[in-house]
Chain A
Amino acid sequence: MSTVILLVITGLGLGALYFLIASGLSLIFGLMDVLNFAHGAFLAIGAYGTWWAALHLPGAGPDGFGFLLAVAFGVGAGTLAATLVELCVIRPLYGRHREQILATVGLSLAVPALIQAVWGADPLTFPRPELVRGTVDVVGVHIPKDRFLLIVAAIVVFAALWLFNSRTRYGLIVRAGVQDRAMVTALGIDVRRAFTLVFAIGGAAAALAGALGGLYFGVVTPTQGMSLLIFAFIVVVIGGTTSLTGCAIASVAVGLIQQFANYYTVAGLGDIAVVIVLALVLLTRQGGLTAKKSAERVA
């Protein structure tokens, strides 16, 4: 029983991490049809930004309020990077989906290499604030505190995104754009501004995932983003691009399946089990839960 609880909470923590990455990814993909390979780069920027700020930024530190400031700095850096990428790289290539994918592929190779050039390829120890050090007892099970932080952060982001989507004018434009972009444009609304906004939101969420992933793994490496990104892609395909809830459910499912299969079978099989689930979903539901949409939108 105690192992099950530990696995559930760890799986939820991992799912929270996936959700933070996948929510932005699915918004971007749903609205703009861009398969954003640079998302892993935003994650890495967030992680390294937080790490750098915790060590060097005046006022920020590895603990308490200083750490919060460091995370804010990392998220800010990620948001800035995402906005710049949208404005300078994606925007000139509107309507040319394959070129957009290629450009983000180029960025996904270049940015980790740049980070590696500056801070080296070796894993860097991530600061661990007092608050998330050690474990908490839940029904007699010792559970690392950082898992809870991840889950809380994901819930907060989920709630914020949900409020944004359902209560704000821009959320309305984004939702309408996901459904039928041409119609929204025809109604005289500038969808492009929503594109930039969505990219910025996605970048912020990914950067937050980077900072929290640093806590979860204890270290940051330049290529961490890529391996997480692949699972986030899987989440996006399983969960679909039209609903935030689908994305959240898929994140949790993927995180839990991975944890349980990794524990109860051979290590590594969990990752493969997720792939099998993806293949099953795609093949039985013909194009995933995103169904017709993604099948028609050939890049």
Chain B
Amino acid sequence: MMTDTDVASTAPGPRSGRRAPRGPGAPGPRTVEDVRGRRRLPAWAVPAALLAVALALPFSTLRIPGVFEGALNSPPTLHLLAFCLVFGGLATSYDLLYGRVGLLSFGHALYFACGAYAAALLMGVLELPLVWSALIAVVGGTLLSLLLGAVSLRVNGIALAMVTLAFAQAGSILISRDPGRLTGGEEGLSLNTAAVPDAFVGVANTVNLYWAAVAYAAVATGVVWWLTASPVGRVWQGIRANEQRVAVLGVNPYPYKLAAFTVGGGLASLGGVTYLLVTGGVTPGITTAEFTLTLLVMVALGGAGTRWGPLLGAALYTYADHRLLQLGQSDGFAALPAWIAAPLAQPLFILGTLFVLMVFFFPGGLVALPGRVRSALRDRKASRR
């Protein structure tokens, strides 16, 4: 866990950007951070530039052979990228619980599925327009997470993991049992295109779906970063480090944990609505415990409790999942002997194994990797002297 905190404090966070600028004549020892801090761009520059690149991406016809099959603005590529972004936002919302507050919840899929299913039902059965369905679905998902969070946060640690897992499992069973022929059972629901604006329908409009996904990822990361930098975020940090001490200091941790749980749930249900739009339907696969486990894998892969980690981890995971499936069906693959080809054609096998290795060798996730490499190099240099 130490590595997480290290990463969080060395990352170019708003804290370092907001620190009072120290003139060259200012007293005090010049630390490494001060020297570096002066050369650094303002804290919003990197996210803004990335957002601009992400928004402008569909105007590019660049081809990256080997990475994407078509040009960058071709519908399949944009669709894949939209997936990566939706899961990026979702993983960021999960990281709010897992990485920022230290709550191990195994029920995040429930709120994601709640958003997707509620929106699909509102559009399909009541034929409400998209905006209203999305609004009601997100409010509903937020309320659900508030309610279940209020119940489950009365316990801690592993018990919390179990209760959230059990609630999510109940939701999953409910959806797959198809009560009143509403949720479509194993087949799921398809998006009622009549209720959706034309701009979001059809392959030609994939670019709009992509932008919707960019917007969702930006909103999710923006909310999480903003809250983490706020006073509430400080309390969260304290809870993650030592909950008892926070309580001893006179702050009741419960409302803060509930706030994180509710915001995380709300963001997840917004992600569910976006997911519904991007995929054009929803299946019970997103309600299962395995789905939450993959979220956990995404977050830990990128780096829990870091700014870019969850987004990066989720994007890489989703990309690898899609590409490995495609690779598994390619011709070059068929030439391999069956006993190698068969396991390699299972993305989950590769990703699961990689994840286990990752936990062993890079506990801080991908985001911590450059820092680890740098410090390893520094150690080497120091030992040579």
Contact = CB atoms under 8 A, between A and B. Distances in A.
Given A114-B349, A237-B162, A272 B155 contact: no
B348 A298 contact: no
A268 B154 contact: no
Contacts of B152: 279
Interface stretch (B52-60, B114-122, B166-174, B219-227): B166-174
Interface string A218-243: 00000100100010011011000000
Contact of B351 (A29, A92, A109, A267): A109
Nearest to A278: B166
Nearest to B156: A295
A103 B166 contact: no
Interface in A36-81: 37
A288 B159 contact: yes
- Residue of A110, A111, A283, A287 with highest tally of chain B CB at under 10 A: A110
Nearest to B177: A268
Contacts of A116: 346
B157 A113 contact: no
A295 B157 contact: yes
Contact of A103 (B154, B173, B360): B360
A159 interface: no
A99 interface: yes
A294 B163 CA distance: 13
Contacts of B102: 298
A109 B169 contact: no
B217 interface: no
Contacts of A290: 159
B155 A102 contact: no
Interface stretch (B12-20, B39-47, B293-301): B293-301
Contacts of A268: 173-174, 177, 179
A156 interface: no
Contacts of A29: 158
A169 B349 CA distance: 39
Contacts of A118: 342-343
A298 B157 contact: yes
B167 A279 contact: yes
B353 A110 contact: yes
A18 B303 CA distance: 35
B333 interface: no
Interface in B355-369: 355-356, 358-360, 363
A102 B300 contact: yes
A237 B159 contact: yes
A226 B157 contact: no
A229 to B, nearest CB: 9
Given A275-B166, A278-B166, A109 B159 contact: no
Interface string B291-314: 001101100100000000000000
Contacts of A107: 352, 356
B235 interface: no
A114 B343 contact: yes
Interface string A150-167: 000000000000000000
A117 B173 contact: no
Contacts of B156: 287, 295, 298
B162 A234 contact: yes
A20 to B, nearest CB: 19
A235 to B, nearest CB: 11
A108 interface: yes
27 contacts: A35-B158, A93-B360, A98-B104, A102-B296, A108-B352, A109-B297, A113-B348, A113-B352, A117-B342, A117-B345, A117-B349, A223-B290, A230-B166, A266-B177, A268-B177, A268-B179, A271-B170, A271-B173, A275-B167, A275-B170, A276-B170, A278-B162, A279-B151, A288-B159, A294-B157, A294-B159, A299-B104
Interface of B: 1, 102, 104, 151-152, 154-159, 161-163, 165-167, 169-170, 173-174, 177, 179, 243, 288-290, 293-294, 296-297, 300, 342-343, 345-349, 351-353, 355-356, 358-360, 363
Across the A-B interface, the 7 shortest Cβ-Cβ residue pairs: A110-B352, A268-B177, A109-B352, A113-B348, A113-B349, A106-B355, A106-B356
Interface of A: 29, 33, 35, 37, 89, 92-93, 96, 98-99, 101-103, 105-114, 116-118, 223, 226, 230, 233-234, 236-237, 266-268, 271-272, 275-276, 278-279, 282-283, 286-288, 290, 294-299
